[in-house]
Amino acid sequence: MKLSDLFIKEAMDLHLTTSTKKETLQHLAGNFASLGKVSDVDAYVAALEAREAQSTTGVGDEIAIPHAQHESITQAAIVFGRSEQGIEWESFDGQPAKLIFMIAAPAGGGGEHLQALAKLSSVLMNPEAKAALLQAGDSDEVVEVFKKFEEPQEEAVEEVAEEAAPSNDDVYILAVTACPTGIAHTFMAEEKLKQAGKTAGYKIKVETNGQSGIGNRLTKEDIERATAVIVAADKQVEMARFDGKPVIITKVADGINKADELVARAAKADAPIYHASEDANATEESVEGESLGRQFYKHLMNGVSHMLPFVVAGGILIAVSFFWGITSFDVKDTANYNPIAEAIFRMGKLAFAMMLPMLAGFIGQSIADRPGLVVGFMGGVFANPALFTDFATGGVFAEGYVSSGFLGALIAGFLAGGIISFLKFAFSWLPKSLEGLKPIFLFPVFGVLIMGALMLFVINGPMGAVMNGLTNFLANVPRELGMVLGFLVGAMMAIDMGGPINKAAYVTGTALVTSAGAAGSDVMAAVMVGGMVPPLAIAIAATLNKNLFTEAERNSAYVNYVMGAAFITEGAIPFAAAHPLQVIPSLAFASGVSGALSMAFGIVSRVPHGGLFAAFVNGVSNPLAFVLIWLVGGIIGALLLNITLSKKAK
């Protein structure tokens, strides 16, 4: 498929009037959705914003390429927007974006589409093409520009390798580019590095790690000949093959904006020698400029994102088992026992029990790669081993056994990274012939041994005491202060909807409901109802006053009735992104009110997810009050939105 075939003329806007990145994403996505090319515009916009949160798609030179793959996309396409005054996009070079190319790709889309999308970066590197796009009078002229400048990429890997193969005395630079989605930045960095190498007179070969797979793969012969290697990547790439070579590890953005500098350094082999057994040291440059807080959050979210599906699956199944009665799963309760309820409860409990190992394991993996996964995973098991074995029923651990629960698993994840770093140092003296022994034998065995000793004899006791103390404190908080706490966690769920503040509230609620077991947690109930309010408020507001939103926004707003009921707070993100000053305070206040009311009524949630479904199957106490509180919050939010958005329109 040719690049020019992907442009949707009817969705183009050559005279953008939006003033912010969020407004522009919402506007272009709305144009795209109005043509029936996306089944869920809210989800797609949320995916675009999630990509922006990873790193800006403002690639510089007044160009931005927001992009995302999502299952709601029915057809791969590019939506073009042009702004005369420019839009602040946090671009790498600080310039506002005037040419915006929004790329929409289906989840798991074919390689043909993704290869065509990759050509966009090559065309945009041409100054003549950019000038023509700035002068284009209509959508037909925009498409003609790409027909003119699009070049069929007929370079085969063999041809590139043959062209680049130097003599032993020549400078030969290798590079690897990769970004999280593998659609745009990957190929723009490739093009920039190639241009820099050509300008400097050096031979260079660039491997791309895109969504459609690895392109122009570096061969063993390439690596042996290489003067140095540039790795410009924001995700993990295969590194062990570069053992013993000078390797520059940096961000994919530097591959675009500092290509000349990187090529000059590589030509002089001005880089540390990479050793496959010293990954932690070799990757220091990749996080240069990234604060400790940002690194902590990134590792934590890697654990949380992998943990959540287990929390949701386990929580919902446990809630379903309550349908036959709160104790219907208990074989000792002969009057209410139901074997189906017991089976579903046990399935849910096992899935829920995996929460701690998944959290700790994937925090460990984020820090120390695969060796950190097994050590972190076992750290999560050691945080509460009684979930998986009869650990606490006899032997040396039976007396005074304490579970550290969620807090222990959290610490175990970060501890796993430290343990692996220590083991890499401790075994660095081993000869290279025994390198293969480390990840498969030495790291797992000694790592699990050290982790077990630390968790069982050092961490579980104090962390368990902290967790129990927190639980007891919250259980004895006066109702008035409980309402303040409920307002706080409810509002947190609506402030950044899926962001760090939202996740902090949700993780706290999850930790408390995990610790409480079947008794449930009132904080979790406040968190859940607070997270259900924003989508409902948006849907009610759109129903009450159709003039508040555009037609595309209204069409997607009604879906929020379902999203709110299902506790999917992210359904409100596109509306908050389009009108942040009006929407976010309104929703935060409404969610806070619902959270406070939930605490006032003493509602507890026995599950960490499920929304109305959890309420209908006894997942929360007093389900009728829970539903009414949700509706009250939604109505309050809708009324506030009508006031604030109407004032903005005037």
Active site residues: 67, 179
Inter-residue contact 89 to 126 (CB < 8 Å): no
User: Could you give the CA distance from residue 263 to residue 259 in angstroms, rounded to a whole number?
Assistant: 6
Name the token pair of 45: 């916009």
Closest CA to 197 of 234, 154, 238, 226: 226
- Return phi, psi of residue 183, to 5°: -110, -50
- Return phi, psi of residue 418, to 5°: -65, -40
User: Could you give the CA distance from residue 3 to residue 145 in angstroms, rounded to a whole number?
Assistant: 11
Closest CA to 439 of 272, 302, 279: 279
Give the number of other Cβ atoms within 10 Å of residue 613's Cβ: 16
Inter-residue contact 612 to 564 (CB < 8 Å): no
Closest CA to 641 of 450, 649, 341: 649
User: Could you give the CA distance from residue 175 to residue 489 in angstroms, rounded to a whole number?
Assistant: 46
Which run of H or of E encompasses 58?
Answer: strand 58-60
Burial (CB < 10 A; 0-12, 13-18, 19+), residue 65, is buried
- Return phi, psi of residue 284, to 5°: -60, -40
**Concatenated DSSP letters of 377-442:** HHHHHHHSGGGTSSGGGSSTTTTT----HHHHHHHHHHHHHHHHHHHHHHTTTS-GGGTTHIIIII
User: Could you give the CA distance from residue 150 to residue 156 in angstroms, rounded to a whole number?
Assistant: 17
Which run of H or of E encompasses 208?
Answer: strand 203-210
Name the DSSP class of 11: G
User: Could you give the CA distance from residue 350 to residue 256 in angstroms, rounded to a whole number?
Assistant: 47
Inter-residue contact 3 to 138 (CB < 8 Å): no
Burial (CB < 10 A; 0-12, 13-18, 19+), residue 574, is buried
**H-state helical runs in 73-184:** 111-124, 127-135, 139-149, 157-164
